[in-house]
Amino acid sequence: MVAATTSDAVLPNTGGTVLSVLRKPSVLPGFGLTLGFTLTYLSLIVLLPLAALALKAAGLGWSGFWDAVLTPRVLAAFKVSFGLSLAAAAINAVFGFIVAWVLVRYRFPGDRIVDALVDLPFALPTAVAGIALSALYAPNGWIGSLLMEWFGLRVAFTPLGIAIALTFIGLPFVVRTVQPILQDLPPEEEEAAAALGATRWQSFRRVVFPALLPALLTGFALAFARGVGEYGSVIFIAGNIPGLSEILPLLIVIKLEQYDYAGAAAVGVLMLMASFVLLLALNLLQAWMRSRHAR
Amino acid sequence: MLVKKAVGFTPALADSRWVKGLLIATALAFLLLFLVLPLVSVFVEALRRGTDAYWAALVEPDAVAAIKLTLIVAAIAVPMNLLFGVAASWCIAKFDFRGKDVLITLIDLPFSVSPVISGLIYVLLFGLHGLMGPFLKSQGIQIIFAVPGLVLATVFVTFPFVARELIPLMQEQGNEEEEAALVLGASGWQTFWRVTLPNIKWGLLYGVLLCNARAMGEFGAVSVVSGHIRGETNTMPLHVEILYNEYNLVAAFAVASVLAMLALVTLVVKSVLEWRFGAELAATRH
């Protein structure tokens, strides 16, 4: 401990000269201790294990990686996972937006309970959601039997069932990203639109919606990303037929059970890469929209 | 979450009665279909054969072992992430340093990783054919298919909960109170215990609550590292899966109903915290 700073005088042994180069001076103690602990814990729990994943996939080599990933079964699962997550996120974008609108703009009996209930998919263990949904939508379930009788529609054990489960899982993301933005929207803009002769619909379309669109897109992206990785709520209702209703996370589990560690790692890396590219694209789109909206 | 502002809705913001009714009906119907019915069905299915069958499913030895294991795993994983969350938010919120944004992004990283991958990474590291597998075997240490693996996977998936709750809260609160305490002669630890902790206690409780709910309910990540040994490495969600796959539906839903009650308690406490102490939770939370 050479050349103690003021903070070290108060609580010794917290930050030395090396750290004071890194940060702006402060009288508060504990920077070295807490940052050191944070970085160590982060590295041990998150970064090193993720590096092991990359390392295992890299062990396959460039062509080996693509050979493991470009099989018909993986590609089919890729389509199922990404396609149905997209569909579920789209459903949530519509209905989640309506829910957020209703919760912010209207008063009705029980609105607070409804608001609290929106977080249920965050709180309910995914396995519980999975068996509950598959029981509901099974051909002899409450909803499944009605859909069967009225439309001849099978939901459980088909891709449609996967979309249902992913809709359940993704709902809070859209509501909880749109809701605070809608709440903080200044009423003056809509009042001005009305004063200038706009109808309710016009002022919604031209004033309110553009202001909410970035939040809606964020919610959409979060729901989508969650859907791609989701496992517990899907596998019970999916039927898990290879090529038809098999999702990527399940394929990882199957490869692990066959001791194909490298193959599992390759699919894992593919999933992470695809999600990363997608989120990056959405971030760029958002930044572009914000700059356009600001002008 | 919902903080109703007394905007006293000006006529310009009022929708016609038809639009309002239609939108409320749509929203409620959607939520009924997707949230309420699944929740209700858990309890209906669990009680299908009466309360005796329900209790029998819960006191059966494998179920008791699963409940115990779930509590043990959460009792280790949640305090670990609590400690980490406090440490991380202290250095991030109270100090300015280079690379802070990168650090925050990295802390949030586990939320964007699929639960299955969260389990997979530990299998690749500590599994029998993993990077450290041969070494661990020679030392007689078992991590995968044992409690340490379950704890690690759970810690990973609940990693950001406490930190992401505390960081914006402590940033909002600033450093003035701590600086005053230090100037008045308090030690660093005294400042933390007497000034910082009382200020963040509700936010901390909120983060721990969500962390615990996820820790006890996690399925995908623990499923990969557990090995599914009945009575030994099965947590409650994994026990639900086994019973369900054996077509023992009443028992599966009985155990699931306990988890559903945990979720409901979590939601109630969370809502109470938001209504009572909304101002003392971070405003920038989503």
Of A107, A123, A180, the CB nearest to B286: A180
The domain covering B51-280 belongs, at the CATH homologous superfamily level, to MetI-like (1.10.3720.10)
- Which of A19-23, A28-32, A66-70, B138-142 comes out lowest in average pLDDT? A19-23
Which residue of A23, A119, A268 is in closest CB contact with B117?
A268
Average pLDDT score over residue span A20-44:
86
Residue A44: CB atoms within 10 Å: 12
- Residue A50 in domain: yes
**Shared-domain flag, residues A113 and A54:** no
The ipTM assigned to this model is: 0.90
Tens-digit pLDDT profile for residues A157-189:
889 999 999 999 999 999 999 999 999 988 888
Examine the domain organization and report whether A52 and A181 are in the same domain. no
Domain end position, chosen among A58, A88, A109: A58
Contact at CB, B121 and A49, closer than 8 angstroms? yes
Q: Is B138 exposed, middle or buried (0-12, 13-18, 19+ CB in 10 A)?
A: exposed
Query: What is each CA distance from B30 to A93, A119, A233, B26, B39, in whole angstroms?
Result: 13, 14, 18, 6, 14
Question: Which residue from B205, B200, B199, B235 is spatially nearest to B220, judged by alpha carbons?
Answer: B235
- Which domain does A224 fall in, by range? 62-294
For helices B37-46 and B249-277, the axis angle rounded to 10 degrees is 130
Give chain A's domain count.
2
pLDDT at B169 over 70: yes
Question: Whole-model pTM?
Answer: 0.89
Which of A48, A230, A231 would you mutate first to test chain B, the one with the most B CBs within 10 A? Answer: A231
**Cβ-nearest to B116 among A119, A183, A231:** A231
Q: Is there a domain that residue A164 lies in?
A: yes
Q: Indicate whether A50 and A79 sit together in one domain.
A: no
Tell me the nearest-neighbour CA distance from A248 into chain B, angstroms. Answer: 10
The tens digit of pLDDT for each residue in A55-102 reads 999 988 999 999 989 999 999 999 999 999 999 999 999 999 999 999
Nearest chain B residue (CA) to A81: B114
Q: Are residues A258 and A149 in the same domain?
A: yes
Contact A120, B263 (CB under 8 A): yes
Chain B's closest residue to A10, CA to CA, is B187
